[in-house]
Structure 1
Amino acid sequence: MRATLDMQDAVFGGSPRAERMLSAILTRQSNGEYVELRAAEVGGRIVSAGRIDPIVATAFAGIWGGATLPEYRGRGIYRALTAARVRSAMSRGVRWVHSDSTEFSRPILERAGLLKVTETVPWTWERTAC
């Protein structure tokens, strides 16, 4: 799991989130939540990964963190991982999948049947101590 999250940090850049994400996923799993992380390896190296998070007591799941190392893009790896994540979620009763994807992933997700319905603007709110 850690190697997968480190690879995603390398792809997305910015501040490292692997440690925080690992802790959050392990906590959720220990609380009985289902979180599935899928990865593709080449020669023992994680080259692509993503997770699927079914939303408890609903027919929805979020598809998150999809990333592929630049030198492995264009080979269908991300598409195959996306299909595997969605099939797995559907086997658990999920009917609808949502994604907050980048413009790089959006065309692949649209070819898989997802439709763009809105946009989000990511940000972090920080406030000073009072």
Structure 2
Amino acid sequence: DTRSELEEAKKKHEDSAKEASEDMQRKDDQAKAKEAELDGLKQKLGELEAKSRDAKDLAKKQEQKLAEELQAKQEELASKEMELAAKGSSAIEEKERLEGELSSKASELEKKEQDMSSLQKRLEEEKREK
């Protein structure tokens, strides 16, 4: 009787130990599955962070390139404005020079007309005297 109780107790103990072992194995398997899932999420996070860095680097490079292009265009515009101002200034100087020449020629012409007129009067007077 005691022997069968002992065997029954031993069997219960073995069943309990087996159940505990299986339970531990299930929990261990679940923990490993969670760890694998966590590793997968960490890998995805790493990939996303790398893509984010790449996108930021690209955006920074494009921004820098656009800033350089803008600066070059502004410098070109400033240069052309100075060129136009210089051309405008030299055109004004040329216009003033030509106006001065024209005024001088007009004065010369007026003086010659006066000289011609006085010569003509003298000729007419000389004709009348003869």
TM-score grouping bracket, smaller chain normalisation: under 0.3
Higher-helix-fraction structure: 2
Q: Quick check: which one's strand share is greater?
A: 1
Give me the TM-score of the superposition, normalised by structure 1: 0.17
Length-normalised TM-score, structure 2:
0.17
